Structure 1
Amino acid sequence: MYRFWHRIEHIYWLLLSLFIRCFTRVYKKRILCWSYYYTKYSCNPRYITEYLLKEHSGEFELYWCFNKDVDVSKLPSEIKVVRWRTWKYLLILNSSAFLFTNTRTGLWKSSFVKRKGQRYVMTWHSSMGIKKIEQDAEETLSLSYINEAKYDSSICDLILSGCKFRTEVIKRAFWYDGEILEKGTPRNDILFQDQRELKQHIFTQYNIPQNAKILLYAPTFRKDMGLQYYKFDWDDILTVLEEKFGSPMFIFLRLHPNFCRAGIDISALCQYERVLDMTYYHDMHELLCISDVLVTDYSSSLFDFSLLHKPCFIYATDYESYDRGTYLKLEELPFPLALNNAELLDVISRFDKEKYENELVEFNKRILGSFEAGKACEALYRWMILC
């Protein structure tokens, strides 16, 4: 019965959207954005927005859509906010010339049916990833998602790519044969900028000594949403890190946004004085910028963080049974690999910075073919003005 009324609700909002369209027109300088299904001001849409605000102030009318319970008090004042599934949302949805999202729009969820004069840019939420996605992982996806993804790709005008490897994935797996902008990933532009002020701000906010260093632990999700894959011996890890890098260490725990949406209690993972739960922190890339070491598993943050040439380690306790599959074998990547806590302690203690950097350069040249140069937002702007 719930599913029946849920579908009726979807149909109601879609029909209402089409009705409102009859009384609106498309404004060439109006932009609507959302991130992670209206839950965050983050990721590629955020960095596109802030680039436009800084470099092209006043040129565009910028709207963001959020769920009704999302706090928007800290947004830049130039951004206009609409709430999902309100009349105003439907009005802006149907009158914006550009729509930027980092996930699939979802016809039933967004009520978005593209009209003449609109351009939909799907920025996605990674530059390059190990785990298989979209059609390459079709057996793990629901039929409803596959149908939505195919529809979404059919109305998409542009997808962004951060490297040659990702371009080939888009062509093969995204049910998409349209234009791909091979100029980098907007959210990675920040990695090429000076972030000392940001670091000082975050350290002050969380009472972290200014001489401390940060290990960011940011694994991706599993289909069963279990927490058993992420257990650390925090005492031992911190001891080894401090011996290796010579500074007081703190750990930022950052789980995947899917845990936020599912409302899963992760407090058991961070019951330690110097482990801070940053899962709900608004933007992952700010954390990457100020961190000194990254530990993850199959997350695309590996390749983002490697642009900083800082130590990155793979901690994959379920490598042999991982349910999504991987594009590349973990042992062939330039990042030291550990399958259990003891191995992680070992690879950290034996870390060779020179060897690591040489292997990074070779891997990028031979496998990835990165387009990242800190100019992705600028390239997208140039594409927009030609539309």
Structure 2
Amino acid sequence: MPRLSLVVPAYKVQGYLPECLDSVLGQSYTDFEVIAVDDCSPDGSGAILDQYAERDTRIHVIHLTENVGLGRARNAGLEKAQGDYILFLDSDDTLSDGALAAISDRLEATGDPEILVYDYARTYWDGRVRPNQRADLLEAEGPDVFRLADRPQLLDLLQIVWNKAYRRDFITRTGLTFPPGYYEDAPWTFCSMISAERIAVLDRTCVLYRQRREGGNILKTVSRKHFDVFDQYGRVFDFVEAHEELARWRVPLFRKMADHYLTVLERPGRLPRNARAEFFRRAAADYRARLPESFERPAGSQGQKYAFLEHNTYAAMAGGTAAAKLRRSVKARAGTALNRSRRSAMGIFYQSRLRFPIDGDLALFSAYWSRSVSCNPAAIDAELARLAPQIRRVWAVRPDAMSQVPEGVDVVPVGSRAYWAALARAKYLVNNVNFADAVVKRPGQIHLQTHHGTPLKTMGLDQRKYPASTHMDFAKLLERCDRWDFSLSSNSFSTAVWERVYPCSYTSLETGYPRNDILVNATVEDVRRARAALGLADGAKAFLYMPTHREYQPGFTPALDLARLADELGPDVTLMIRGHYFYGSSPHVAELRRSGRVVDVSGHPRVEELYLAADALITDYSSAMFDYAVLDRPIIIYAPDWDIYSAVRGTYFNLLEEPPGVVATSQAELIRLLGSEEYGGADATERRTAFRRRFCEFDDGHAAERVVRRVFLGEESPLPFVPFAERPHTPTPDQALELVERA
């Protein structure tokens, strides 16, 4: 039987859950079990729990068949717990290093108290850590073990359950369970603390309490659900009434109740405006009904608020609160007006168009900072034309890229009046990066963030840990991400990353990448057409080389001697190069280009056509590998500087250990692999299959349709995914040639 049982409920926390579990499993103390409860989570949380349980037998997973809420999910975990002590840990929080060892040591040193209270700290997205403001209450003063009557000030700690270890037999004897609702911690915390005969404290931060920027808890949600607080305090006082020996706690608990009601009433972002008067009346009724005879109101403004409750005078309280708010805002108004006047980037014209009604049949598209008509937005554009032709589709393109816009595309030059008018009035704004800071998100507009790759390298807030991104303004980044309504994902791995590194209030759409639909649905004719457009001869082998950008290099430094590589591979192999290569001064490379053995495709508008034409992909850390894997063709990883890249930019997994095929770390090794059959052999195929199942799980050829139906047509029921084994298979160039010759 383990010493400690940690109950960890999980619901829509796939972005944070691995960090939570890692913080537990990485503890130096090992005599514990984890009872993880999947509260019928609609995201990948349940699968993450199962994966961890497969790797560590101390984790036991319960999958609930319906969503029951945090309290009852904890109850389900309690029923299975076997430890001497029960600890609760929310699945977006983490344990500090050495926390369990410190807790165990303190329990032993204090003779196994019924409750051990330990400290916590708040952590923020920007790296700030704020200690518990009442940490002084946990300082070791007086006896090691005591009753609450000896230190009643402990009631002034935040009423939470996850900063305490509870002896399991105490829980059983007291009959404690979590009620349904959203303030379920209040009855558990108060009833347990006033019931315990032996309490101890640990003056050490054991839990890191994540302050979720996107509003991941009830305290940051405007809702009538905050009325639940009345039921919870009803349970507290019912408990006291049922235990005559606890009558002395009526006064302290009454004060906690009144303070809590006032907090809910006064904090912005909790109650809907039209519900505040009703909430006040309910609070006043409880106040008068439970007012102890010996109670004395506190002094000062808080006592005045108590008086408002006692006399049920909402108008007086609302007036006083409004006056205080007015005084605070007078100074802020002047600053706000000044800031607005400085928004010259928007311009007077844009400001005027923001007052026009939104055009429900207008969609504005952009890709790669308005440099091209491409990627996921282009695929969505094409599908939108098929399913909703009534919606006008307009592209924002930089003036210097206008000549590359395909014929028939409606376009507005970035910075023009037409551009600002479209930004102001379009109902749908679609981009694979963020729009400029000057763009205002209007109520009624829908921002669709498509992204443009599966992340191997760290993204968003995760970049703060690495030197390559020290120049980034992360606060501004998140302000831009706050405009998103939808975020696309091609795999659950990406979804978890996006939700963690861009902690904003959007809806994740696991649809697959629209740009990859063609890689699933392409025909023999598509493959042949792509090769012909590039001048690739029938039967010739074509390798596509696509390296990624390296932030730590001030300029482009080629990682390959292309001339030597072409010579080694021979005249029957063509290298297609997509990247920033500057070989114009080399006569030998110029000759290779003229012969067609090296083809610079850096300016090709559709990378998907390059994928269709290539027999294999050579890349380093580019997200191209995740897209090309949809084709199930060989991928060769050329990673000569993996140690530097992973240290400077940071990566989410070790590509050398989990590659989509063979790996070379030197040019000589790359030449050897390309000259052999190894890159397309059985081992490489097995690795590629595992890679595809993990990262191409949603790419079944219907991604664009899913996006259009959900975002533009408002359909809530998504198209079912084609099973992985049943998806169409685009022919390779050799297969396409063979089919043509047979015909």
* TM-score under structure 1 length normalisation: 0.85
**1:130 — aligned with what?**
456
Matched letter for residue 221 of structure 1: H
Q: Deviations over 1:357-382 (max 9, x none)?
A: 222223444x5472111111111111
Question: Offset of 1:17 from its aligned partner?
Answer: 5.3
Matched letter for residue 616 of structure 2: V
Matched letter for residue 354 of structure 1: A
CA contact (8 A) 2:402 2:413 kept: no
CA contact (8 A) 2:637 2:663 kept: yes
**1:281 — aligned with what?**
604
Matched letter for residue 702 of structure 2: K
Secondary structure, aligned partner of 2:399: coil
Label 1:354 to 1:238 Cα distance change in 2 as closer, same or farther (>3 A): farther
Secondary structure, aligned partner of 1:351: helix
Secondary structure, aligned partner of 2:629: helix
CA distance in 2: counterparts of 1:341 and 1:189, whole angstroms: 33
**1:71 — aligned with what?**
402
CA distance in 2: counterparts of 1:237 and 1:88, whole angstroms: 48
Question: Offset of 1:248 from its aligned partner?
Answer: 2.5
Label 1:105 to 1:212 Cα distance change in 2 as closer, same or farther (>3 A): same
Q: Is 2:632 the partner of 1:306?
A: no
Question: Offset of 1:238 from its aligned partner?
Answer: 6.0
Q: What's the Cα RMSD here?
A: 2.7
Secondary structure, aligned partner of 2:430: strand
Question: Offset of 1:143 from its aligned partner?
Answer: 5.0
Percentage of identical aligned residues = 25
Q: Is 2:580 the partner of 1:253?
A: no
CA distance in 2: counterparts of 1:200 and 1:187, whole angstroms: 19
Matched letter for residue 314 of structure 1: I
CA distance in 2: counterparts of 1:164 and 1:106, whole angstroms: 28
Q: Deviations over 1:14-38 (max 9, x none)?
A: 1435423245221112100111111
CA contact (8 A) 1:214 1:293 kept: yes
CA distance in 1: counterparts of 2:689 and 2:527, whole angstroms: 27
Q: Is 2:351 the partner of 1:26?
A: no
**1:345 — aligned with what?**
671
Label 1:204 to 1:286 Cα distance change in 2 as closer, same or farther (>3 A): closer
In structure 1, the gaps of 5 or more residues are: 1-9
CA contact (8 A) 1:122 1:160 kept: yes
Matched letter for residue 383 of structure 1: R
CA contact (8 A) 2:489 2:495 kept: yes
CA contact (8 A) 1:213 1:250 kept: yes
CA distance in 2: counterparts of 1:17 and 1:326, whole angstroms: 43
Query: Aligned match of 1:92 in 422, 426, 437?
Result: 422
Matched letter for residue 374 of structure 1: G
**1:375 — aligned with what?**
702
Matched letter for residue 68 of structure 1: P
**1:187 — aligned with what?**
515
Query: Aligned match of 1:56 in 387, 396, 402?
Result: 387
CA contact (8 A) 1:295 1:314 kept: yes
1:190-339 equivalences under 5 Å are 190-223=518-551, 224-237=553-566, 239-240=568-569, 248-255=572-579, 259=580, 265=582, 267=584, 271=590, 272-273=592-593, 274-322=597-645, 323-333=648-658, 334-339=660-665
In structure 2, the gaps of 5 or more residues are: 1-341, 716-743
Label 1:141 to 1:230 Cα distance change in 2 as closer, same or farther (>3 A): same
Secondary structure, aligned partner of 1:98: strand
- The number of equivalent residue pairs is 362
Q: Which deviates more from structure 2 when the two are superposed, residues 309-318 or residues 140-149?
A: 140-149
CA contact (8 A) 2:399 2:413 kept: yes
Label 1:368 to 1:306 Cα distance change in 2 as closer, same or farther (>3 A): closer
1:2-17 equivalences under 5 Å are 11-16=343-348
Greater length-normalized contact order (CA 8 Å, ≥ 6 residues apart): 1
CA contact (8 A) 1:294 1:311 kept: yes
CA distance in 1: counterparts of 2:514 and 2:714, whole angstroms: 19
**1:3 — aligned with what?**
none
Q: Which deviates more from structure 2 when the two are superposed, residues 210-219 or residues 287-296?
A: 210-219
Label 1:66 to 1:368 Cα distance change in 2 as closer, same or farther (>3 A): closer
CA contact (8 A) 1:233 1:341 kept: no
Question: Offset of 1:354 from its aligned partner?
Answer: 2.8
Matched letter for residue 123 of structure 1: T
Q: Deviations over 1:97-128 (max 9, x none)?
A: 11111112231xxx3111011000111111x2
Question: Offset of 1:200 from its aligned partner?
Answer: 3.9
CA distance in 2: counterparts of 1:330 and 1:237, whole angstroms: 26
CA distance in 2: counterparts of 1:200 and 1:369, whole angstroms: 24
Question: Offset of 1:237 from its aligned partner?
Answer: 5.0
Q: Deviations over 1:52-95 (max 9, x none)?
A: 22x22622100001111213465242x31100001110111111
Question: Offset of 1:356 from its aligned partner?
Answer: 2.2
Query: Aligned match of 1:117 in 440, 444, 449?
Result: 444
* TM-score under structure 2 length normalisation: 0.46
**2:495 — aligned with what?**
167
Q: Deviations over 1:203-238 (max 9, x none)?
A: 444433233232110011011253324223444456
CA distance in 2: counterparts of 1:190 and 1:74, whole angstroms: 20
Label 1:145 to 1:285 Cα distance change in 2 as closer, same or farther (>3 A): farther
CA contact (8 A) 1:33 1:100 kept: yes
Give 1 or 2 for the bigger CA radius of gyration. Answer: 2
